[in-house]
Amino acid sequence: MSETAPPRTPPVVAHPYAFVGTEFDPHRSSPDASQADASGDASYGRLVVPGEVDVSHGAILYLDSVTVSFDGFRALNDLNLAVDDGELRCIIGPNGAGKTTMMDVITGKTRPDAGTVFFGQTIDLTRMNEVAIAHAGIGRKFQKPTVFENLSVFENLELALKMDKSARKSLFAKLSGEQRDRIAEVLATIKLTDAAHGPAGRLSHGQKQWLEIGMLLAQDPRVLLLDEPVAGMTDQETVATAELFMSLRGKHTLIVVEHDMDFVASIANHVTVLHEGSVLAEGTMDVVQNNPKVIEVYLGR
Ligand SMILES: Nc1ncnc2c1ncn2[C@@H]1O[C@H](COP(=O)(O)OP(=O)(O)O)[C@@H](O)[C@H]1O
Ligand SMILES: [Mg+2]
């Protein structure tokens, strides 16, 4: 895969990942469809701490009977999915199965025609826009890395950290000691400590992907969605990415869409197979790989 995205200048006000897909899209949530309820205050009469995700039932994401139609074609068709807090979930399935659409629905880019999407027990993501969902703690990594090539690796992370809602006032302020520590921690996690002060444009494709993951990690998301993260990576980079994801499990919930089955086998203990907008099979890699329906529509081809 060629990576020819032009260098971008850093935005001043916008979270670099929050404002995507600005072209007209009838399914896209309207901007006034409310920041309403990142706090998720209305549920079962219980008091919910604003900004806190209630995972008392174990799951951090629930999709319930989600349907998305494009001109009558159901990209998601009564999709049901629950992901546990801290899980590393892999989603596989043939092209067109609805994997990216599922991520679009979770992140608020696409509004479902039917069904609900809950973040923890109380936060209804279908009532929130993309910015509010990102701020509530759901980060998304797109396929192409979009790091700022002319800035150093460190500066990319600094920018991401300062774009975080809680720190936004400090955009032009010096980094606090705590923020420096956080950047150092992220650099170590994504194995770019030695490259910290060189321009991001000089990183390999794989390293750029890690940097972008690091930019998301700087904001400490509860859930991280990753669409085909190892596409275009060398074998070595792919193995290092598997190690990275394993190290993140438990601290964050990771939902990984990937076609590279060796990679999936190396990280997954729970795999969901999507097909025609619904779950075709779910379970351990072993169970899924030996499912005749899965072999027929996906793995056997
Ligand atoms: N904006 C859109 N308009 C029309 N059809 C779409 C749109 N987005 C996705 N689709 C269709 O929905 C189906 C699912 O797509 P997608 O979620 O991208 O699948 P996957 O990521 O599993 O390959 C495909 O048939 C695709 O062509
Ligand atoms: Mg896709």
Ligand 2: centre distance to CA 228 (Å): 8
Percent of the chain with pLDDT over 70: 80
Ligand 1: centre distance to CA 152 (Å): 35
In ligand 1, the atom with minimum distance to the C-alpha of 110 is 1
The model's pLDDT over 179-225, given as tens digits with 9 standing for 90+, comes to 999 999 999 999 999 999 999 999 999 999 999 999 999 989 999 99
Residue 12, pLDDT > 90, answer no
In ligand 1, the atom with minimum distance to the C-alpha of 104 is 17
Nearest CA owner, ligand 1 atom 5 = 70
Looking at all shown ligands, the one closest to residue 111's CA atom is 1
The DSSP result for the chain, as a single string, is ----PPP-PPPSSS-TTTS---S--TTSPPTTS-STTTT---STT----TT----TTSEEEEEEEEEEEETTEEEEEEEEEEEETT-EEEEE--TTSSHHHHHHHHTTSS--SEEEEEETTTEEGGGS-HHHHHHHTEEEE-SS----TTSBHHHHHHHHHHTSGGGGGGTTSPPPHHHHHHHHHHHHHTT-GGGTTSBGGGS-HHHHHHHHHHHHHTT--SEEEEESTTTT--HHHHHHHHHHHHHHBTTBEEEEE---HHHHHHH-SEEEEEETTEEEEEE-HHHHHT-HHHIIIIIT-
288 pLDDT band, cuts 50/70/90, is: very high
In ligand 1, the atom with minimum distance to the C-alpha of 93 is 22
Q: Average pLDDT of 148-159?
A: 95
Ligand 1: centre distance to CA 301 (Å): 20
Ligand 1: centre distance to CA 232 (Å): 21
The model's pLDDT over 223-280, given as tens digits with 9 standing for 90+, comes to 999 999 999 999 999 999 999 999 999 999 999 999 999 999 999 889 999 999 999 9
The model's pLDDT over 95-133, given as tens digits with 9 standing for 90+, comes to 999 999 999 999 999 999 999 999 998 899 999 999 999
Nearest CA owner, ligand 1 atom 16 = 98
The best mutation among 70, 74, 99 to test binding of ligand 1, ranked by most ligand atoms within 8 Å of the C-beta, falls on: 70
Determine how many CB atoms are found less than 10 A away from the CB of residue 9: 8
53 pLDDT band, cuts 50/70/90, is: confident
